[in-house]
Amino acid sequence: MSKARAPAVAIGIDLGTSGVRAAAVAADGTVLHLAACPHADTAAGRDPSSWWHGVEHCLGALARHVSLSGIRGLAVDGTSGTMLAVDEAGRPLGDVLMYNDPCPDGAIVERIGDVAPDGSPARGATSALARAIYLSRLDGVHKVIHQADWILWQLGLSIAVSDENNTLKTGYDLGAEAWPAWLETAGMDAGLLPQVRRAGAPIAEIGGGGRRFGLPHGAMLHAGTTDGCASFLATGALEIGDGVTALGSTLVLKLACAAPINSSAYGIYSHRVLDFWLAGGASNSGGAVIRSLFDESSLAQLTSALDPDRPTGLAYYPLLRPGERFPVNDPSYPPVLEPRPADEATFFQAVLEGMTRIEKSGYDRLADLGGPRLRSVRSVGGGAANAGWMRMRERALGVPCLEPRSAEAAVGTASLVLAGQERLI
């Protein structure tokens, strides 16, 4: 394949749950090439050597399709809260604790609950801080870092550096822009944690680990972000009031805000990204409910039968089991999927109508808590391809449902590099 005409100036690397992906983009954000390396299996997704193998594969693939001689910067996103301990040489110690792993020691979680401020994202059974404290007790630990931090280290950083998006659930104080003193009381030696930069900020020149792929002297490593924030940026949503709905196994909403929104009651917390705040919440409804109710082979036919102009009048709240997090916070909140009509197409439409009401209630909840009025929505995930559902949602939300620029988190991470480079000029 011939080299792309537009020069590549930025690379974004996405460390996803299923594999590694990388994007090379031009100065105007145009995607020049995407590369992917799936993990061999679930166990590989927990193995740092597999992460690095994926990065090597993807950077090699980019180099074969576009010239990397003009690359100015590179950043990495990772799964939020995935932690590992390393020795002085950056070699992993013990097992990685993934973003959804509960802390093996419940007493650590309890201690954090006693000392962390109300509403801190560091609280809870799957607290990244709890995992960090547990890993800090391993013999020979030099640093406890996040997934994306480790890849930056492999690419040539001489010190452990993270970004304030990945560190939010580890207890980082966004207001003070520092690790807070209460971490020591919770049992965490803050000296073992990485330095922190704002997402997109340039950190240092790429070292030998990156230059062997053809990346030039002077190219910078930038602070990255979480996979969720990267996915938001990839869509092109940048203005206050822009929302992104992920129609995946669960229903996840994110909204660009002028000020942070935090509510422990609804599991809402805010990341600072570029010049705005990104607040969000996650419902237990979503694609997993659809897959439990309908045969996969029938979904195409049911989708073609949707009639958004003729609502069913059925007020469903589709859940797999009792319990909801957002926009209602009630561990015993009941699913509502009755009365069930005899016609399967009507039932399917009613389920989607119920999810649409949840989505609208979610954005309304964010507005009630101080967020901006919704001005547009971009959709990602499997449900985004359903045109009938899109019309249903656009009508209910009362704002345009826009086509996302990209659904690739790596593209969003590359856009952080472009923003960080602008700040250098």
Distance CA 420, CA 63 (A): 23
Distance CA 378, CA 247 (A): 10
Domains within the chain, CATH numbers bracketed: 10-228+409-424 (3.30.420.40), 239-402 (3.30.420.40)
Distance (Å) of CA 329 to CA 173, 315, 366 = 25, 19, 13
CA atoms within 13 Å, Cβ hemisphere of 388: 20
Look at residue 1 in the predicted model and tell me its pLDDT. 41
Q: What is the pLDDT along the chain (425 residues), one digit of tens a residue?
A: 444 467 999 999 999 988 999 999 999 999 999 999 999 998 999 999 999 999 999 999 999 999 999 999 999 999 989 999 999 999 999 999 999 899 999 999 999 999 999 889 999 878 999 999 999 999 999 999 999 999 999 999 989 999 999 999 999 999 999 999 999 999 999 999 999 999 999 999 998 888 889 999 999 999 999 999 999 999 999 999 999 999 888 999 999 999 999 888 888 989 999 999 999 999 999 999 999 999 999 999 999 999 999 999 999 999 999 999 999 989 899 999 999 999 999 999 999 999 999 999 999 999 999 999 999 999 998 888 899 999 999 999 999 999 999 999 999 999 999 998 876 54
Do the Cβ atoms of 375 and 399 come closer than 8 Å? yes
Look at residue 210 in the predicted model and tell me its pLDDT. 84
Percent helix, strand, coil in the chain, to 5, is 35, 25, 45
What is the phi-psi region of residue 344: left when phi exceeds 0, alpha when psi lies from -120 to 50, beta otherwise?
alpha
Look at residue 264 in the predicted model and tell me its pLDDT. 81
Do the Cβ atoms of 397 and 226 come closer than 8 Å? no
Look at residue 158 in the predicted model and tell me its pLDDT. 86
**Residues contacting 190, CB < 8 A, separation 6+:** 179, 183, 184
Amino acid occupying residue 32: L
Indicate yes or no: pTM above 0.85.
yes
Do the Cβ atoms of 410 and 230 come closer than 8 Å? yes
Q: How many CB atoms lie within 10 A of CB 262?
A: 18
